Structure 1
Amino acid sequence: MRHVVLPLLGTEAGGHELGRGAGGDRTVELDRRAEVEVLTELNDLAGRGERFSVLSEEAGLIDMGAPFPRILVDPVDGSRNAKRGIPLVGLMLALMEGPTLAEARIGFVLNTVSGERWHSLRGGGSFREDRRFEAVRHSPEGRIGVLSLETSTRSILAARPLIELSGRLRMLGSTAIALVHTATGGIDVHCTPTPHRVFDMTAGVLMIEEVGGLTTDAEGRPLSDLPADLETYTTALCSAHPDLHRLALEALAR
């Protein structure tokens, strides 16, 4: 994957628009090339007799012999970063046994630029480069040291109560990578204050849950019952530390 994506980062060729993908976003050549790389591997797997389906942000739902298990594929999470040559781009994969986030069994995120890999197994923990990790506590109780937001400039005021409560703000531009760093504890709280596609959150939500964290919408409703598809949107509030999640939820409710 890296050998496909890295040469195209920030280039005119990589940013050439091809239309809109199944998720509704504009598809560029870089997205297409990355998706082809993943689908080639999955087609080989189907050719060896495995039966499953694939849901990709670009191509949509692909039947490879069975509705489930289903593999979710976001080949370039952080497309805007990629088009502009900002080196923070991820690959997100998730293995689903059913349609909802609660039925995600495996989550995988690759930092396409650095090569760093994370994965999680439901009931089996979260791993960074194949070493199991627990969330590290960097901030004292009652304080959000680092807040991550996924939002546009037009919507950022929806998170103002959290911003005022936080020491530092990060906006990474890649939901998958922001959520894995929330799972490790590097980010204390991640918030998406206006509706965002649930699909993008699937692997990261599992990683946070596997370290004992909480993943809800901005009103405190669990994300686990939501469909992991291209049509469902939600706000999000996530933290590996339940007390910080509670603090953030109280701030948003004011």
Structure 2
Amino acid sequence: MQLSPAQWVEELRKTGKKLLEIIPRVAGSADASVKLRRGASGDQTFYIDEMAEKIVVEAVEKISQNGISFTLISEECGIKKFGTENNIKILLDPIDGSNNAKRGVPYYATSIAILDGERLRDILVGYVVDLSSNKEYWAIRGEGSWCNGERIICRSSDEFDMVAFEASVPAKDIERLMPLLKSSRKVRCLGAIALDLALMGAGAIDVTAIATPSRSFDYAAGMLILKEAGGIITDIEGGEIGDISAGLERTVPLIASANKVLHQNALKLINGSRQ
């Protein structure tokens, strides 16, 4: 027995409601930034990360009790199998933008992707709940993207009006991205990759560049939301990322754009003569 994509969205939205009830009350508090241990991905796990993960894990455990089998891959608890062996994977980032959440900066989310295979080309459902604004973004492969139930679509402009970037290692990352940033009307470093991609799908951002290799759970859900809204995402040199495995390992630097013209122009700026 398996859930349909629409049924997965329904279950994820139930989980999102619970997250919205609890996590914003903790964000920015002294408890939020209490260090607990190193998570399965190797990054530090904070109290707020564990709290969000616990909510999601409890929700998927209830799903599994109805005979639904899958494998959960999460930044904190690692890989956990539910039920019999099958090809359904859940990629979870409990807090996308955890540094923002623990400090009380209102830009953080929970990101969940459902895959029916081993690789990113197999993403079936993407769900990102913005825990600081009560907005929910989701997508179903081949059917489109939505924000709070309304269809969303990327911008069609070919101007770099609003460019977002993520710079985990600023001394190195910003230098590589500088040609793109200097060509942009406005730039923002927002701190939550999946949420950046979801906002791009809703028409708020033109290009997002991530110079440090990210893990697949950091961007998988946002990737589908963006693509189903008409956007493009590749590695930072323009290579396809659909064959990347869903797992805990770091993958590649990324660049995402609202349309093909923006993408090609952004690649030329970042890579120069290599394009």
Q: Same fold by TM (over 0.5)?
A: yes
Partner of 1:199: 217
Write the distance in 2 (CA, Å) between the matches of 1:38 and 1:188. 31
How many residues in Structure 1 have an aligned counterpart in Structure 2?
251
Judge conservation of contact 2:152–2:201 (CA < 8 Å) in 1: no
Judge conservation of contact 1:197–1:230 (CA < 8 Å) in 2: yes
Judge conservation of contact 1:198–1:234 (CA < 8 Å) in 2: no
1:144 correspondence with 2:160 = yes
Q: Please state how far the C-alpha of 1:67 moved relative to its aligned partner.
A: 4.2
Gaps of 5+ in 1: none
* Post-superposition CA distance 1:124-165 (Å, at most 9, x none): 01111112222233x4x3x31111001132221110110111
Residues 67 and 21 of structure 1: is their aligned pair in 2 closer, same or farther, counting only changes over 3 Å? farther
> Percent same amino acid at aligned positions?
33
Partner of 2:190: 172
Write the distance in 2 (CA, Å) between the matches of 1:111 and 1:46. 25
Partner of 2:264: 246
- Deviating above 3 A after TM superposition, structure 1's stretches of 4 or more consecutive aligned residues are none
- 15-24 vs 228-237, which deviates more? 228-237
Partner of 1:221: 239
Residue type of the partner of 1:242?
K
Could you tell me the TM-score, scaled by structure 2's length?
0.88
Q: Please state how far the C-alpha of 1:242 moved relative to its aligned partner.
A: 0.8
Partner of 2:25: 7
Write the distance in 1 (CA, Å) between the matches of 2:37 and 2:20. 23
1:185 maps to which of 200, 203, 212: 203
The two structures, once aligned, show a CA RMSD in angstroms of 1.2
Write the distance in 1 (CA, Å) between the matches of 2:194 and 2:55. 19
Higher strand share: 1
Write the distance in 1 (CA, Å) between the matches of 2:203 and 2:167. 21
Residue type of the partner of 1:14?
A
Higher helix share: 2
Indicate the SS of the match to 1:58: coil
Partner of 2:96: 77
Write the distance in 1 (CA, Å) between the matches of 2:146 and 2:42. 32
Indicate the SS of the match to 2:139: strand
Write the distance in 2 (CA, Å) between the matches of 1:194 and 1:52. 30
Indicate the SS of the match to 2:197: helix
Write the distance in 2 (CA, Å) between the matches of 1:210 and 1:225. 18
Residue type of the partner of 2:236?
A
Write the distance in 2 (CA, Å) between the matches of 1:4 and 1:59. 20
Write the distance in 2 (CA, Å) between the matches of 1:170 and 1:151. 11
Q: Please state how far the C-alpha of 1:99 moved relative to its aligned partner.
A: 1.4
Judge conservation of contact 2:92–2:217 (CA < 8 Å) in 1: no
Could you tell me the TM-score, scaled by structure 1's length?
0.95
Write the distance in 2 (CA, Å) between the matches of 1:240 and 1:136. 6
Residue type of the partner of 2:33?
G
Write the distance in 1 (CA, Å) between the matches of 2:220 and 2:55. 21
* Post-superposition CA distance 1:171-199 (Å, at most 9, x none): 11011110111122211000012322232
Residue type of the partner of 2:120?
L
Write the distance in 1 (CA, Å) between the matches of 2:174 and 2:62. 43
Indicate the SS of the match to 2:212: strand
Indicate the SS of the match to 1:225: coil
Q: Please state how far the C-alpha of 1:220 moved relative to its aligned partner.
A: 0.4
* Post-superposition CA distance 1:8-40 (Å, at most 9, x none): 111111211001111111101111111111111
Indicate the SS of the match to 1:162: helix
Judge conservation of contact 2:152–2:203 (CA < 8 Å) in 1: no
Q: Please state how far the C-alpha of 1:81 moved relative to its aligned partner.
A: 0.4
1:163 maps to which of 181, 203, 212: 181
